[in-house]
Chain A
């Protein structure tokens, strides 16, 4: 394996894991509530900006990694309770429009608070520097992000299959009426799920902060990538989100190496191919 191939492999996987954490938040919300959150990318962006401020004030990346996702989760909770609740039972278009309105507010709002320019954040001292892999030096922080993906996947899997709360959420996702009949407080479940999904978006934002430039359009770019991930993997499917994220991450990384001219178009070609050959997505269930 050549050096560049190895680096691309690592870069692709690292970006893929970032995409996974974002997409899994999107997919949790969609899978349980049937709501597609257009502002999900903006939540990710807000997570990154909050990390910026927390790190500036406290110089602690780790505090940001805990606090910022919780704050974004609270933002998500407020969104659900105040704005989305009145819209359940109405045409899905209205939910889409509402979250779209939120996207406009957040994208412009961060400019008001943090200015229109780009910012950057250093990786925490513990993870700064590079490590030698087969003779290639590679940033430790990227490896940390790459490892965070499987950890999040494992924690979520344990939560949804082993814990009581996880089982309740799955029951509410499968059959709302049945869950109601069983005495499950479905509105509370929805709020909790929106918190969880937004929390994940915020966490991805914090993780991305040392890797990528923090700016007002970072949310738009990532939401489109996340949409491609969930369509490729199958909207609502957890393993699908993982697979889709890894594939898209690798496609983007290797695209630069092999077909630099059309690299930007590759994700869309992937998207079109999946829609043609397997419109349900790679691991999508029959709908």
Chain B
């Protein structure tokens, strides 16, 4: 039943562009990109037990790296993606090294702090990053596949490119979580102290998880920059870090697809709410508070629990 549902959803994702309008197509592309971002965040939060308030740092670093490469070089999409992911990887190595040195509460503070550090650098270093104007006006790189070059500029092409990365992220994370590494990080989430007493170097594994999550966020950032055709400081602001947090909480941090559902609901809510009011953040805060108190498992987690209870009841 669950499987059939996911299969149906997958089919929908593939045929969707052929009957949707332009607005819906762009909307869906953005949701998929943010889903990748939220999924990467949830590797840290839902599976390693680390709540990061600075995940946008890597989203932005990946994005800015891609924008700079597209601006200053003629590289193709794949080399740009790989290089930008590498930049995000190294940044995550360095920042992560500091952030995992103390417990979870410190982690939350430090990620917010270092996230704002990246924002400050992006915002102040006008000559390179364009400051508050951001970077735009670069030409989109071409995608070389099987000796052919594609333009990634048609929205449909870009949608499928994004869909590819979305599915690849899902597969990669699924494998990761079912691996010994996945069990170790889940054990750390459950009980970091006990994990140390079974021989786990807790900080090291947290660091590895942080780096994987940061690199994935960087990939999402690359896609976002080419989708948006610009890299702007808002990509690294703490309000962008708040997005995956809210999406994941909304969808359910303990459910594999929670962040994806969360991203979808988040965007639909944002679309509706911002038609009526500019104060979208108040609205977000007002749904976050009751969710945290009454539905800590999010929509999907609560739904799964409800179904399980009904089944066992019958």
Task: List the interface of chain A (C-beta within 8 A of B).
Answer: 30, 34, 36, 38, 83, 86-87, 90-94, 96-98, 100-109, 111-112, 220, 223-224, 227-228, 230-231, 235, 264-265, 268, 271-272, 275-276, 279, 287
| Chain B positions within 8 Å of A38 at CB level | 53, 108, 112
Report the minimal beta-carbon distance from B281 to chain A, rounded to whole angstroms: 4
The reply to whether B51 and A97 contact each other, CB–CB distance below 8 Å, is yes
The reply to whether B102 and A279 contact each other, CB–CB distance below 8 Å, is yes
| Chain A positions within 8 Å of B117 at CB level | 265, 268
Name the segment of B33-41, B179-187, B287-295 touching the other chain.
B287-295
| Chain A positions within 8 Å of B281 at CB level | 104-105, 107-108
7 further A-B contacts with Cβ under 8 Å, apart from A108-B281, A279-B101, are A83-B293, A94-B292, A102-B285, A104-B242, A105-B286, A108-B285, A111-B279
Q: How far is A21 from B247 in the complex, measured between Cα atoms in Å?
A: 34
The reply to whether B112 and A101 contact each other, CB–CB distance below 8 Å, is no
The reply to whether A224 and B285 contact each other, CB–CB distance below 8 Å, is no
Most A Cβ at <10 Å: residue of B105, B110, B279, B286: B105
CB of B113 within 8 A of chain A?
Answer: yes
Q: How far is A227 from B245 in the complex, measured between Cα atoms in Å?
A: 20
The reply to whether A92 and B112 contact each other, CB–CB distance below 8 Å, is no
Size range of the chain B interface in the assembly: 35 or more
Q: A87-B293, A108-B281 are in contact. Are A97 and B104 (CB under 8 A)?
A: no
Report the minimal beta-carbon distance from B198 to chain A, rounded to whole angstroms: 20
The reply to whether A275 and B98 contact each other, CB–CB distance below 8 Å, is yes
Interface 0/1 of B230-245, CB less than 8 Å to A: 0000000010001001
| Chain A positions within 8 Å of B280 at CB level | 108
The reply to whether A108 and B289 contact each other, CB–CB distance below 8 Å, is no
Task: List the interface of chain B (C-beta within 8 A of A).
Answer: 45, 49, 51, 53, 98, 101-106, 108-110, 112-114, 116-117, 120-121, 124, 238, 242, 245, 249, 279-282, 284-286, 288-289, 292-293, 296
Q: How far is A161 from B232 in the complex, measured between Cα atoms in Å?
A: 51
| Chain B positions within 8 Å of A34 at CB level | 105
The reply to whether A100 and B101 contact each other, CB–CB distance below 8 Å, is no
Q: Which of A93, A104, A265 contacts B282 (CB 8 A)?
A: A104
In the complex, residue of chain B having the shortest beta-carbon distance to the beta carbon of A112: B279
The reply to whether B285 and A101 contact each other, CB–CB distance below 8 Å, is yes
Report the minimal beta-carbon distance from A38 to chain B, rounded to whole angstroms: 8
Q: How far is A228 from B106 in the complex, measured between Cα atoms in Å?
A: 10
Q: A111-B279, A264-B124 are in contact. Are A98 and B101 (CB under 8 A)?
A: no
The reply to whether B282 and A98 contact each other, CB–CB distance below 8 Å, is no
Report the minimal beta-carbon distance from B181 to chain A, rounded to whole angstroms: 21
The 4 closest A-B pairs by CB, nearest first: A105-B285, A104-B285, A101-B288, A108-B281
Q: How far is A227 from B289 in the complex, measured between Cα atoms in Å?
A: 23
Report the minimal beta-carbon distance from A215 to chain B, rounded to whole angstroms: 15
Most A Cβ at <10 Å: residue of B120, B285, B286: B285
| Chain A positions within 8 Å of B45 at CB level | 93
Q: A108-B281, A265-B121, A272-B98 are in contact. Are A36 and B105 (CB under 8 A)?
A: yes
In the complex, residue of chain B having the shortest beta-carbon distance to the beta carbon of A226: B109
| Chain B positions within 8 Å of A90 at CB level | 296
Q: Which of B49, B284, B285, B292 contacts A87 (CB 8 A)?
A: B292
The reply to whether A98 and B279 contact each other, CB–CB distance below 8 Å, is no
Most B Cβ at <10 Å: residue of A91, A100, A264: A100
